[in-house]
Amino acid sequence: MKKFNVPEFYRSSIIASIKEKRRNLDPKKKDFTPSIIDFGPVQFHLARHFGFCYGVENAIEISYKAIEENPDKNIYLLSQMIHNPIVNDDLISKGLRFIMDTEGNQLIDWDEINSDDVVITPAFGTTIEIKKLLENKNIKLEKYDTTCPFVTRVWKKASSIGTNDYSIIIHGKHKHEETKATFSHSMVKAPSLIIKDLNEAKQLVDYIEGKLPEDDFYAVFKDKYSKGFDLKKDLKKIGVVNQTTMLASETEEISNFLKDFIINRHGEDNYKDYFADTRDTLCYATNENQKATYGLLNVPADIAIVVGGYNSSNTSHLVELCELKLPTYFIKSYKEILSRDTIRHFKYEDKKIVETNNFLPNKKNVKIILTSGASCPDSEVDKVLNKLLEFFEDAKPIEEVLSEFSLR
């Protein structure tokens, strides 16, 4: 796999050595059991896969290259390059500015941007409408386009099946930048509809079968279907693609549910004429990180700490998985660990930041799950681990533990 030129301060010493050991032992990535790092009074369970993925490293390399190559120009990002505050704050400190926030609200008026400026497309991609707007200003996005290649692959699949008269069902969050971009690209080729989960897929089938009033469909799915979408005509042939940071297992569940619906309608022998196979659009990194989290949860632990941006979709799904099994703390930085007793963390369901006391169990041999989202630097996970080690006076030195780990 390609090696990217990522700033050294995003790299780590502890995490990098552990990942390298696992790569050497399991080059085909078939073992999803956690790496257990034993410091004596505290044990860390690290996911087999976590941290920067291919798409994120690609985006980071291109963004820093844009800054380096254009020292005297205004440099803009359409929105946050990735959903991680550490990376975005560093880019801002180097003079880069965001045109929109993650909700699509304008931060800089389009009239302020001209053909002499540099505009970077974030890893999520952008809509056809925004691309045309910038092209009309003679701004070429191709040079510094950081769109993840796995997002582009989803667009190509949607285009391909749309050309063959399939309508596109997009599993995603309709306000997320990536889903907006995918929706924009897909509806050029075919009628398109966004659903967020299996419940909405079941609701959709009820509308198709007439179990729910047709008029209600247009209200319930407002802003989630393409212009001119016809419930009766446009769902006879369908294919499912996804926002790449959604739970892969949930996308598969939705796809299988809708496939079964089509089979019941048209029979096992004919369903392929009405249901497109889109399994090859699932993002490998999201899939592997989620499988690694399931592997983590198979080993008993006391608490889980997940590191990443609070608006990161892929990180939030890791949090959701961990919360099913044990107390979980979602933090953006090591600085959120305020003391041995107190941690400040994000409650994803409530969308608020809270402080929890006595988060570390008062016991011998504390076992902590530690993982991060695909947009979180390994260096930040290092800092979280080091911060937690401060609370265990008898912990073995890091060098000794890493040496023992490498000899296993």
The pLDDT assigned to 53 comes to 87
CB atoms under 10 Å from CB of 222, counted, come to 9
Sign of the alpha-carbon dihedral angle for 51, 53, 57, 60 = negative
- Catalytic amino acids? 178
The pLDDT assigned to 104 comes to 87
Using alpha carbons, select from 90, 84, 54 the residue that is nearest to residue 311: 84
Report domain extents, the chain.
8-53+285-407, 54-135, 150-282
| pLDDT averaged over every residue in the chain | 93
Report how far residue 384's alpha carbon sits from residue 332's, in angstroms, rounded to the nearest whole number: 10
Using alpha carbons, select from 194, 166, 178, 189 the residue that is nearest to residue 251: 194
Domain 150-282 has CATH 3.40.1010.20: yes
Q: Which of 49-63, 195-209, 214-228 has the lowest mean pLDDT?
A: 49-63
Over residues 93-104, the mean pLDDT reads 92
pLDDT at 244 exceeding the cut of 60:
yes
Could you tell me which residues come within 8 angstroms of residue 309 by beta carbon, excluding any fewer than 6 positions away? 82, 83, 84, 85, 315, 332, 373, 375, 376
Using alpha carbons, select from 367, 322, 394, 297 the residue that is nearest to residue 38: 367
Give 83's pLDDT tier (boundaries 50, 70, 90): confident
Q: Which CATH architecture has domain 8-53+285-407?
A: 3-Layer(aba) Sandwich (3.40)
The pLDDT assigned to 370 comes to 96
Report how far residue 78's alpha carbon sits from residue 100's, in angstroms, rounded to the nearest whole number: 6
Name the CA radius of gyration of the chain, rounded: 23
Over residues 11-28, the mean pLDDT reads 90
Please give the CATH number for the structural domain made up of 54-135. 3.40.50.11270
Same CATH topology for 8-53+285-407 and 150-282: the answer is: yes
The pLDDT assigned to 107 comes to 96
Using alpha carbons, select from 125, 225, 256, 142 the residue that is nearest to residue 182: 125
Using alpha carbons, select from 291, 318, 281, 283 the residue that is nearest to residue 56: 283
The pLDDT assigned to 248 comes to 83
Give 245's pLDDT tier (boundaries 50, 70, 90): confident
- Read off the pLDDT of residues 305-362 as tens digits, 9 standing for 90 and up: 999 999 988 899 899 999 999 999 999 999 999 999 999 999 988 999 999 999 999 9
> Which amino acid, one-letter code, is at 36?
I
- Read off the pLDDT of residues 129-182 as tens digits, 9 standing for 90 and up: 999 999 999 998 889 999 999 999 999 999 999 999 999 999 999 999 999 999
Q: List, in sequence order, every beta strand (DSSP E) within 141-191.
A: 167-171
- Read off the pLDDT of residues 100-115 as tens digits, 9 standing for 90 and up: 998 889 999 999 999 9
* pTM for this predicted structure: 0.88
Give 196's pLDDT tier (boundaries 50, 70, 90): very high
The pLDDT assigned to 381 comes to 96
Q: Which of 29-43, 115-129, 272-286, 382-396 has the lowest mean pLDDT?
A: 272-286
Using alpha carbons, select from 225, 221, 192, 191 the residue that is nearest to residue 206: 221
- Read off the pLDDT of residues 32-65 as tens digits, 9 standing for 90 and up: 999 999 999 999 999 998 988 888 999 999 999 9
Tokens 């790299």, residue? 11
The pLDDT assigned to 349 comes to 87
Q: List, in sequence order, every beta strand (DSSP E) within 148-287.
A: 167-171, 192-195, 238-242, 275-276
